[in-house]
Structure 1
Amino acid sequence: MVPARWWLLLAGLAASVWLVYELPFGPRVSLPSTGAVLLLGGAALLLYGRLSIAVGPDGVRVGRARLPLTAVGTAEALTGDEARAARGPGLDRRAYVAIRGYVPGVVRIGVDDDADPTPYWLVSTRRPERLVAELEAARQTAGR
């Protein structure tokens, strides 16, 4: 979910559109225009803020990408300066990245597959320790 202030910015944009079209054209133009801005902007915020992360017996799924449990390596939770470094200067360009700038924590999931050139996945989450625990539990259940 995107930050609340982004929704406030959308409301301000919609109010601006209403004002720009209300004065010269009246409500026949301003109301549909404002509604379109709210509808399209709200859909964009919902789609951007939705990053599904699921850990199951078949592996980990982040968005549409899937990593089987047999290829999941060590996972580490990073917060604060470590997370900033992992997202910035410490980022390997071959890594799979699914991050949101407004989410402070990330999890680095190692990829143990010689055929895969991706060294690790970097995934943003509000609860990095919980994701690491779920990954470890899934790996133990699968007998790795």
Structure 2
Amino acid sequence: MPHYREKLWASAWSFIVTALVIPASILVLAPINMQAGYVTAAVLYGGCVTLLVIASPVIRVENGLITAGPATISVDLVGEAMPFSGTEASQERGPRLDVRSWMLIRGWVGPVVKIPITDETDPAPYWLVSSRHPEKLVAAINESRRPATDF
């Protein structure tokens, strides 16, 4: 059974931009107390980093299940997954997007994987999931869908 795991970490730029709370905190609190500015800056930046780490979802394919963040679905209920990168990924996230789809999109991850849902009772026609390794994710999903053959 194929196995895949990916955590959609925030980009390095997210951590760098978040670091702007450091000089901002120091600047605001400097007239009152410089030490309070340093402590506040450290606490705020630590909090921002913690939130970025906690908010990074995990995508898994294992034991016949696909998990993307808080959602899980059996591989028996999905069709052939398809990877999209570059302009095609932008089209899937934009003009070609079905508003009924279930999405796990992160702005700092360009490529996406489209996973059609074959369950008639599911209102979402497909999942659209960000992935830094769309070909590997698609391979794991599509290989999991194939029945195991006994020799």
**Residue range with higher mean Cα deviation, 83-92 or 32-41:** 32-41
Structure 2 length-normalised TM: 0.86
Mapping of residues 1-144 of structure 1, within 5 Å: 1-27=9-35, 29-48=36-55, 50-141=56-147
Contact 1:71–1:111 (Cα < 8 Å) also in 2 = yes
SS of the residue corresponding to residue 50 of structure 2 reads helix
The ranges of structure 1 where at least 4 consecutive aligned residues each deviate by more than 4 angstroms after the TM superposition are: none
SS of the residue corresponding to residue 55 of structure 1 reads strand
Structure 1 length-normalised TM: 0.90
Mark the runs of 5 or more structure 2 residues left unpaired by the alignment: 1-8
Aligned length: 141
Distance 1:98 1:23 in 2: 44
Higher RCO structure, 1 or 2 (CA under 8 Å, sep 6+): 2
Distance 2:79 2:40 in 1: 50
SS of the residue corresponding to residue 100 of structure 1 reads coil
Superposed CA offset, 1:42-91 (max 9, x none): 1122123x120110123100011001111011110011111101101111
Percent identity at matched positions? Answer: 32
Shift of 1:31: 2.6
Mark the runs of 5 or more structure 1 residues left unpaired by the alignment: none
